[in-house]
Amino acid sequence: MKQNQCNFTYYKLEYNHKVIIKKQERRTSMKKLDSTKLSKEQQEFFATHLAYLATVSKDGIPQVGPKQSMKVKDETHLEYLEKTQQHAFENIKNGSKVAVVVADKPSHTNVRIIGTPKVGEKDDNGWYPVVISIEEIDE
């Protein structure tokens, strides 16, 4: 994953009565990629970071929440188990597209996926598998 345009922020930290000035790189924008296929590096990033799913209600109200079961199904699909069947699930059933973001704060690295979800049949645990077809990838 390539880093986008960056600038630097300087932080003044006090630790045990010592002042430390820390320079930290900060990304200023995300870059839309030309591919709808996840690279191996992006797939590994999804496997090692918590994913957040965003949906929108039919009234335009956004909803965002973590999805611990989110995983890469293949290079063009994500998949998770909908366990709570609350706001995000209702929004998806009502036709909401989704955004999925995974981020690493220390390195200021992130991947955002825009896609269309499809809800599968309820499994034996009462959970619904949701498969997301990737339409756009940003870093």
Domains and CATH numbers, the chain: 30-138 (2.30.110.10)
| Predicted pLDDT at 38 | 94
Task: Kindly report, residue by residue over 22-73, the tens digit of the pLDDT.
Answer: 444 544 456 666 688 999 999 999 999 999 999 999 999 999 999 999 999 9
Q: Give residue for tokens 């498969």.
A: 131
pLDDT digits (tens, 9 = 90+) for 119-130: 999 999 999 999
pLDDT for the residue 64 = 96
Q: Look at residue 18 and tell me whether its pLDDT is greater than 80.
A: no
105: exposed, middle or buried (Cβ count in 10 Å: 0-12, 13-18, 19+): exposed
What tokens does 92 get?
């998806």
Q: What is the pLDDT of residues 84-112, one digit of tens each?
A: 888 999 999 999 999 999 999 888 889 99
| pTM to 2 decimal places | 0.76
Q: Residue 3: its pLDDT value, please?
A: 45
Dihedral sign for Cα atoms in the order 83, 88, 93, 95: negative
Q: Are 82 and 125 in contact (CB under 8 A)?
A: no
> Among 89, 81, 93, 75, which residue's Cα sits nearest to residue 137?
75
CA distance 30 to 75: 20
